[in-house]
Amino acid sequence: MPRRERNKFVKRGQVIEILIEDYAFGGKGIGRIRNEHGEFVVFVPNTLPGQLVKAQIKKTSKKYAECKLFEVLKSSDDEIDSPYQDIPGAPYIKLPIEKQHEYKKQSTLELFKRIGKVTDIEDKFDEFINSPNTFHYRNKMEYGFSAIGYNHELKTDVDEFTLGFKKRGTWWCGDNLNNDSGLFDGQLENNLKNIRAYCQNTGLAPWHAPKKEGFFRYFVVRKSYKTNMLLFNLVTTSYDLPKFSLNKFAEYLTELFGDRVAGFLHTINDEIGDRTIATSGSIKLIYGEDKIVEELLGLNFEISMKSFFQTNPKSAEKLYSKVVEYVLEKQESVDNSVVLDLFCGTGTIGQIIANKANNTKIVGVDIVASAIEDAKENAKRNNIEGLKFYAADVGKFLSEHPEYKNKIETIVLDPARAGIAPKTLNKIINLNAERLVYVSCNPATQARDTEQLMLAGYQIKKISLVDQFPHTAHIETVVLFEK
């Protein structure tokens, strides 16, 4: 067997300092190593052109290497001062929003050219839709407890009680959130250090990731923009639970946030895996209500701790409005007909279409049974008729319902990050619908699916980009395909 040729530029595990020169889709900065052997490309996530960074080589090939970011040693000239605490979940908070939009648009359209083979994608571009709130736009945050912290002066791990986020590039090390991060609720985040102190004063231990032991695990908060109410969930192990008063903690939360507290839940999670809600654990209401209500485009949605709901509701309204605009562009093919809403989640898009169209039947399908239960409840609450929801795998559902073939003119698709499985996409193509409105939170998989759709006779008519998550690399796309 021939010996694998050694990479002449880098080796796995090596820590390098590199200047970021370009930006690629998904928030990957591009650096280049130049030596007597030539030029070699290095990708570092969550970095910007102009930054000097310290990173570790994780994967190498002949042409390029993938890295893990350790720290930014020198800022880019494009960056500005931010009044918020720096967190891993907002790597671009110091970059002016216009510049963020420029990078997102350019790198997304490039994907459709390269992966989707759409050479004239610029001609199909409709609009870039900004998030109405650039800051404090999220309606949910998960803060983790950790027994290992990080000393930024000494640049080393230390034993300490922390509550915040994982230190960038680590799985074992927490970093305290002491102030507003600019993403969630200012009052809540400025009080997180007080909540941490309260928990620390009980003498009970925070979770120690390497040892897989401890009491405090997560503090999860959901917020309603309609009512400004907060719903809390404290996640702990069952070990030492008798020593902690859940009722006193609920009282403490109402001292801090007054009548903003909608409810407080407690979750037991004894699993060693790093998930907030365990498959085997229990969730119990300790105080108040177990749900909050949010409004989207005039419709009300009840949200529990486990419900899936758009994280940036104000921007989601803009996203859904664009989807509905594309769906209703040919109103005559929607009125008095059936629209399939595949990968429908909690059925929001279908409800909005049914609310705006005439005598339209919506058939929503999603594999997550709890999402379908929420969809049915929400439709009932909003008094919307003509909706049918099925908890099923989309591919399987289409095989079992041949009656939709050649009968459907419009299909809405909103799959998960992985895109649509090729076999399922073939079944969708075989329905022979006139138009597809494809919503995606991962344009890379959408661009891949675009190639298959174009081979089947569909063309992109329009594409819009929606900035659901300012200060991150994420972007949502809405594409209208027509036969």
- Which residues are catalytic, by number? 441
Task: Measure Cα distances from 120 to 24, 109, 114, 259, 263 in Å.
Answer: 20, 10, 11, 54, 51
Query: How far apart, in whole angstroms, are the C-alpha atoms of residue 234 and residue 470?
Result: 27
Q: Is 310 marked as a binding-site residue? A: yes
Q: Is 366 marked as a binding-site residue? A: yes
Answer whether 138's CB lies under 8 Å from 87's CB.
no
- Give backbone dihedrals phi and psi of 454, rounded to 5 degrees, phi first: -65, -35
The single residue listed with the structure tokens 């090729």 is 422
Q: What is the DSSP letter of 416?
A: -
- The token pair at 344 is 């429908």
Q: Helices marked H in 95-219 — which ranges?
A: 97-114, 121-124, 186-190, 192-201
The single residue listed with the structure tokens 């758009």 is 310
Return the number of other C-beta atoms located less than 10 Å from residue 317's C-beta: 17
Instruction: Kindly provide the residue ranges of all beta strands, DSSP E only, lying in 111-154, ordered along the sequence.
Output: 125-129, 140-151
The single residue listed with the structure tokens 């000097």 is 52
Tell me how long the chain is.
483
From the annotation, which residues make up the binding site?
Answer: 310, 343, 366, 414
From the annotation, which residues make up the binding site for S-adenosyl-L-methionine?
Answer: 310, 343, 366, 414
